[in-house]
Structure 1
Amino acid sequence: MSSTSVSKVECPECGHTFDVNEVLSHQLEEKLRRQYENKSAQDKLLIEQQQRTLASERQQLIEEKAQQAEQVANTVAQQVKEKTTLLRKSIAQELEAERTEQFKLLQQELNDKSEQLKQLSRTQIELERIKREKSELKESIEAEAELKLTRQLAAEKQRIQQAEADKNSLYLAEKEKIIEQLKNQLDIAKRKAEQGSTQLQGEVQELAIEEWLNEQFPLDTIEEIKKGARGADCLQIVNTRNRTRCGVIYYESKRTQSFQPGWIEKFKQDIRDQGADIGVLVTQAMPADLDRLGLKEGIWICSFEEFKGLSLVLRDSIIRTSRAIATQENKGEKMVMLYDYLTGNEFRMQVEAIVEGFSQMQEDLNKEKRAMMSIWKKREKQIEKVLFNTANMYSSIHGIAGNVIKALPSLDLPEEN
């Protein structure tokens, strides 16, 4: 019998033939499906229960946080209220004690006055004055003494008030004087810091020139002219990998408020003494007929920023000229050619074109400096305003609370020895 016939069963009642494998497969599939649905339903219920639990815990956590925040706020408010109440009570007690002491002194003085009046009355009785005259005199003296005492108390009160007012006005005047003196000292210190020493500024520019040349041209020889020696500030001997001493550039540094025409003649003499080819005068103040880099009486005059671009062009021109005249035999003609080229109009226009970029950079830098100075000035005014308002607030509180508020050394006058 085949496997197909074995897996099939015929119903004895209806004669219908069933496939046993198919029935078993269907039953197994139905069982697995019910198990999967039951498992899915259980998992869904479990997930929903966990979600409800998480939501409940989250809501509980939110409520706990709110309660804690409310408790902290209530605690802080209560502490602030308690401290405020204590401070007010302390101030009130001190004021009450002061008033009580003053009242006792006045009462004692009044008792003394009354005792004197009684003594005076007894003296009048002892002088055998009649009873009516004695009574009238006593009343008169008492009334007069009371009026006098009232006037004295009023006068003393007015004197004390005036003294306190004068003291406060003097104290405020002293504070204003100190603030004014501090402002003047601050302005003087700022001006000194901005201006600096002229000699120190010149030395700083000299060092900056030497450092820039050494960093920019490692093949060249940068010689510093020592202080006190005759000559300019810095000597640049131009070298290349193939040639040495192609030419010499002489630098003079000036950093003063005005340009002196006598500098040029002295500098030209120094150039001749040192045997240099070109002279460059780096100055903060330009001549009256030059507002930027230019050639004046054979000397290049420029600012510190323009010097960087000018030195690059001068060095390149010296190297090119040295190469061009290397084959020339007449050494004097070489120097003439070099001098004519470096002092010619073509070379000057090339230098000006290169330096235009540096000039624009300098202008942008100046704009940034002005903007920063404006910001610093605004912040300085804001700080002064905050300090002034703080001092006023401290003085008002100190005037009300008295010695309860501890003194601040930075806001009080120093004690005299």
Structure 2
Amino acid sequence: MNFKAIAAGASTEPTLQCPNCNHEIHLTESLAAPLLAETRQRFQEQLASKDAELARKVEALRLAREQLTREREQLEDRVAQRLAIERAQLASSEGRKAREAAAAELQAKEAEAAELRASLANNNLKLAEAQKQQAELMRQQRALEEEKRELDLTIEKRVHASIGEIQTKARQDADEAARLRVAEKDQTIESMARTIEELKRKAEQGSQQSQGEVLELELEELLRGRFSTIFMASAFLRSREPVQSGAASRKKAFPNGMSSASSRDGMCSLGTSISIEASTRPSPVRP
């Protein structure tokens, strides 16, 4: 049977409805009191049961929450530990990689340094060799300069010696040429003296007048051939004088009463003086 409270008018009375016929039965306080008490108790029990269930559920939920909290903390701890381990492993790996990279870089730098040292040593050897070659070249250059100075000095000495020899040879040649010219002049003067002697001898054999004229003409021709410049000037002066007779001409040629004999004597004296002058004249010497 269902209990149902139905409001009717101003008052409210609990009613019961029959499940078979659906008839409502009004409950009075006396009739309803036990039912209400039973119902109240049942509801209280149900409420208590529900409260207990709820308390159990709350407790279970609390326990579950605590469990979850513990599990979460444990998980967080495990995660933290795992992370720490992984971080340590990563740090170790990174450190190892860093150490390996640093070692490789150091090895590369050491290899580069070794290569640089080898290159420096090679360059030092090349520099030493170049300095040695430079010193040798400088020594050879000094030797060549010394040889050049010695060669120049030798050439200068030889040139001076050659110049001295050339000057001596030229002086000797000049002296020889002057001597030959003087000898030629001496021969010429001697020839003239012999010619004059021959003319003198011829003049003494003939008449004085004829021989004097012939002697004068021959002597004039001889002197004209030897001393053409003087006789050209003399001929020029004669051409400006009036033509005279042979005697006057001879008188003009031999003034102051000079005779043909005195003329011959004068010619002889002239020849003798020319010969003496030629023999006493010093030979020209070139510097």
Tell me which of the two structures has the higher relative contact order, counting C-alpha pairs closer than 8 angstroms and 6 or more residues apart: 2
Bigger-Rg structure (1/2): 2
Whether TM-score is above 0.5 comes out as no
Higher helix share: 2
Q: TM-score, normalised by structure 2?
A: 0.36
Q: TM-score, normalised by structure 1?
A: 0.26
